[in-house]
């Protein structure tokens, strides 16, 4: 899902501004939470969404997530695939299909 071009663009953006010095794991995690809140705010009072605003806030969340993965030395695709594998074990298709029940209640 993440392309080499995207990774390079994010790294270059940060490097050109010398912002890497501020990107400790803790700061990046806080930034993800802040931007996630802004994404949630898109639907705070209504289910009607502005797709352009949602797209912009989602981009911020994803950018900080890429930066955190990069800082930790993790490949974002590998992180997602490993989690999907773990979650697949918790939610077997035959038990979870069409249900929103938590895994320990299936």
Q: What is the DSSP letter of 12?
A: H
Please tell me the predicted confidence (pLDDT) of residue 103: 87
Q: How far apart are CA 69 and CA 64, in angstroms?
A: 9
Q: How far apart are CA 80 and CA 47, in angstroms?
A: 28
Model's pTM, two decimal places?
0.90
10 with 62, same domain: the answer is yes
SS3 labels along 19-31 = CHHHCCHHHHHHH
Q: Domain holding 16: CATH number? A: 1.10.287.1080
- Tens-of-pLDDT digits for all 106 residues of the chain? 689 999 999 999 999 999 999 999 999 999 999 999 999 999 999 989 999 999 999 999 999 999 999 999 999 999 999 999 999 999 999 999 999 999 888 9
The answer to whether the beta carbons of residues 6 and 63 sit under 8 Å apart is no
Residue at token pair 């501020």: 22
9 with 52, same domain: the answer is yes
């Amino acid at each position: 899902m993440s392309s080499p071009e995207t990774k390079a663009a994010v790294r270059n953006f940060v490097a050109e501004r010398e912002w890497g010095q501020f990107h400790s794991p803790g700061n990046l995690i806080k930034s993800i939470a802040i931007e996630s809140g802004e994404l949630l705010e898109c639907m705070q009072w209504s289910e009607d969404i502005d797709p352009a605003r949602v797209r912009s806030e989602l981009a911020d969340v994803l950018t900080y997530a890429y930066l955190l993965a990069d800082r930790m030395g993790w490949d974002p695709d590998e992180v997602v695939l490993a989690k999907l594998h773990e979650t697949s074990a918790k939610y077997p298709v035959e038990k979870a299909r069409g249900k929103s029940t938590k895994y320990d209640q299936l």
